[in-house]
Amino acid sequence: MRRKDREVTNIEEIYKVIDECSCCRIGFYDEGEVYILPMNFGYSVCDNSTILYFHTAKEGRKIGLIEKSENVGFEMDTGNKLNVAEVACSCSTSFKSIIGSGAISFVNDKTEKEFALQKIMSQSTKKDGWKFDDKMLESVCIFKILVNKMTCKVHK
């Protein structure tokens, strides 16, 4: 990271930034191009590992890309605000961002699918205790990213 003065290294502070985010963009490499998807997400921390969860339909381009390669990148941000100055190149932007990479895989276990959906709904609504019947769990595709690298940057 070029601007070390903006880097956040405290993991609890990083999770606070993630808590503020409503969208995670996933970057896939596909036959010479990068395919980026904005998605709702949830996350958990288990044994000092961060896991990002996502839900989608059971078909589409991303399904094939997940099957093709487990390596993905991701980005999320919040608090974007333009700070206008008198001179164009003196303007700046306030933001909080997370950038990382990890291994993507499908979640097929019913218990983990329900856990993932709880995390996704909690991240989106800030409420817990959602109920999912078997039909709902069967109708949705859940996948996760096991984060292997993540950096956080904050500019006020």
pLDDT digit string, tens, across residues 46-91: 999 999 999 999 999 999 999 999 999 999 999 888 888 888 888 8
- Output helix, strand, coil percentages for the chain, rounded to the nearest 5: 30, 45, 25
Cα–Cα distance, 78 to 155 (Å, whole number): 11
Helix count (H) and strand count (E) of the chain?
4, 8
- Residue 92 belongs to what H/E stretch? strand 92-107
Phi, psi of 116 (to 5 degrees): -60, -45
Give pLDDT tens digits for 3-30: 666 788 899 999 999 999 999 999 999 9
Predicted local distance difference test score (pLDDT) of residue 1: 57
Reported confidence tier of residue 93, pLDDT bands at 50, 70, 90: confident
What number is the average pLDDT over the span 92-115?
95
What domains can you pick out in the chain, each with its CATH number?
4-150 (2.30.110.10)
Does residue 42 or residue 89 have the better pLDDT?
42
Predicted local distance difference test score (pLDDT) of residue 61: 93
Reported confidence tier of residue 99, pLDDT bands at 50, 70, 90: very high
pTM score, two decimals?
Answer: 0.92
Predicted local distance difference test score (pLDDT) of residue 2: 67
CB 115, CB 104: distance < 8 Å: no
Cα–Cα distance, 110 to 107 (Å, whole number): 8
